Amino acid sequence: MKRECKNPKCNNEFIKRGNQKYCNKVCLNKHYYIKNKQKVIDASNKWCINNKERRKEINKKSCKNWRNRNKKQFSNLVMKNYYKNKDRWASRKETLKLSKLRVIVLKNKCPHINKLEIHHEIYPIKKNEIIQAVKDNKIYYLCKNCHRKLL
């Protein structure tokens, strides 16, 4: 005896075996999700709230794995960002060059000493403007963790 699948989005016919209502397990799961969508979303949100640290670890790992697997795509994203914000990139490059030549001395605004990054509040391009920004404490060093918090 042939029957139609109970999933509204699937119209496959199948041979009835016992009390079977769906053509396969995939249709059963899809129908369950459609029927209990809000319940599944609430459970997921509850898990995310209870496991914040674990979620951060999972996100970092997946991001790192994605970058390693898709190096071309990641470099394309970086280049897109470069073309979108050329002035910012030029400012960063010039600031780094001036700090290596010891023309400017950047101050630490963070108590940590390891993994320092240059933080820009403004992005001047010319040498004189960069020197003035350093004097006004608009460009300074921050550690990686503090830098991420500000962004």
Pairwise pLDDT comparison (75 vs 31), residue with the higher score: 75
Instruction: Give the pLDDT score at 17.
Output: 63
Query: For the residues of 106-125, what is the DSSP string, one character each?
Result: PPB-SS--SSEEEEESS---
Mean pLDDT of the chain: 85
Q: Residue 8 — pLDDT band, cuts 50, 70, 90? A: low
- The pLDDT assigned to 86 comes to 94
Reply yes or no on whether the pLDDT at 78 is more than 80. yes
Say yes or no to pLDDT of 135 above 90.
yes
Q: Two tokens at 59? A: 């996100």
Q: Other C-beta atoms within 10 Å of 77: how many?
A: 12
**82 pLDDT above the threshold of 80:** yes
The residue type at 104: I
pLDDT band of 34, cuts 50, 70, 90? low
| Position 35 pLDDT exceeds 80 | no
Confidence tier at 115 by pLDDT (50, 70, 90): confident
Residue 89 has pLDDT above 70, yes or no: yes
CA distance 61 to 149: 19
Q: For residues 148 and 37, give the distance between their C-alpha atoms in angstroms, rounded to a whole number.
A: 35
What does the pLDDT average to over 130-150? 91
Whether the predicted pLDDT of 80 surpasses 80: yes
When comparing pLDDT for 72 and 149, which is higher? Answer: 72
